[in-house]
Amino acid sequence: MNWRLFIALRYFRVRRQERFVSTISLISIMGVSVGVACLIIVLAVMSGFDNELKSRIVGTNAHLYIEKEYGPLTYPDENISYALMKDGRIKGYSPFVSGQGIIRAGDLFSGALITGIDEVSEKTVIDIKKYILEEERPILGEDGLMIGSELARELNLQILDRVSVVSANSKRPKDFVITAIFKTGLYTFDAQNVFIALKPAQELFAIGDRIGGVAARVDDGADANLIKRDIAVALGYPYFVKSWMDMNQNLFSALRLEKITMFVILTLIVLVACFNIASTLIVKVVEKTKDIGILKAIGATNRDIQSIFRLEGLFIG
């Protein structure tokens, strides 16, 4: 065994006349342990929360949304279809119509974001039906409506209840039957969104056989911004492309800032623990002054003495 390592191990042991120094060493070790444990636990919790939130948001939103700078789109749009089919990273795409409307249930009213979906192709993009509370996945048809759990609670709605929906473009309200209640776990989404079939949505918003845009899903949601740029370049004006990150940018910026802040605070805790180690080593050096003198007398260099106490600090760390 290296003699420097041997002496460092001897100094690390608890000896009766060094009990005070050993107590300080124990406190330093506990300080480092608590600081590092807090750092790891908090960052793990924040990362887990971040990943869970992202998975829920991605589960309720398409990765990409393609729309026109002005007015609705004709469907199928050859430019969009060609750009999406040519890109091998696109897993599926589906047309949609979306807009604000008012839902009436008896004497109760509420605003909502009404989205018309194509029930066949929508499954390759979002598949909102997987979030419904019942095991069955009903068909929307001409007058079916899926409503968020929080909005249904606010309007006191149950399955098979009838509601009236009106938009700014519709001349008169259109009646629908509640066929499903979905719950994604995101309060804002469940309190604002309803889904109907594509054709009734076109009638409700009075846009004929046109659509509001095309939603697409990619292989890896993390690459959505990169793919968005490629699709936007391929389509050009007057089309524009948004990713799910763009639509939730404020939320993720806040989470990123919170994670950085927690990292800085907990790093300071670890630094305090490191100063405890340094103070312990200083006390040990002062206490071992005679030993250091003997070691230097028999030929130990300053570098050898430094190595001994560096090893001591390493053991504590």
Q: What is the DSSP letter of 48?
A: H
The pairing of strands 239-243 and 64-68 is antiparallel
Q: Which two tokens stand for residue 54?
A: 């992202």
108 pairs with which residues across the strands?
105
Rounded percentage of the chain residues whose pLDDT exceeds 70: 93
Q: Let me know if 283 is exposed, middle or buried by CB neighbors in 10 A (0-12, 13-18, 19+).
A: middle
Number of separate helices (H) and strands (E) present in the chain: 11, 9
Q: Single out the residue of 154, 140, 164 nearest to residue 190, CA to CA.
A: 154
Cα 104 vs. chain centroid, distance in angstroms? 34
Most trustworthy range by pLDDT among 72-76, 113-117, 246-250: 113-117
Would you say residue 30 has pLDDT above 80? no
Instruction: Provide the pLDDT for residue 233.
Output: 87
Q: Let me know if 168 is exposed, middle or buried by CB neighbors in 10 A (0-12, 13-18, 19+).
A: exposed
Asked if 266 contacts 42 with a C-beta cutoff of 8 angstroms, the reply is yes
Instruction: Provide the pLDDT for residue 14.
Output: 54
Residue range 181-204: average pLDDT? 88
Would you say residue 288 has pLDDT above 80? no
- SS3 at position 61: coil
Query: How far from 85 is each of 122, 216, 239, CA to CA, in Å?
Result: 16, 11, 17
Confidence class of residue 194 from pLDDT cuts 50, 70 and 90?
very high
Q: How many angstroms separate the CA atoms of 238 and 38, rounded?
A: 51
Enumerate residues 6+ apart whose C-beta is below 8 A from 166.
101, 102, 104, 172, 173, 174, 204
Instruction: Provide the pLDDT for residue 114.
Output: 92
pLDDT digits (tens, 9 = 90+) for 57-110: 777 788 899 888 877 888 877 888 888 888 888 888 889 998 899 999 888 888
Q: Single out the residue of 73, 84, 159 nearest to residue 121, CA to CA.
A: 84
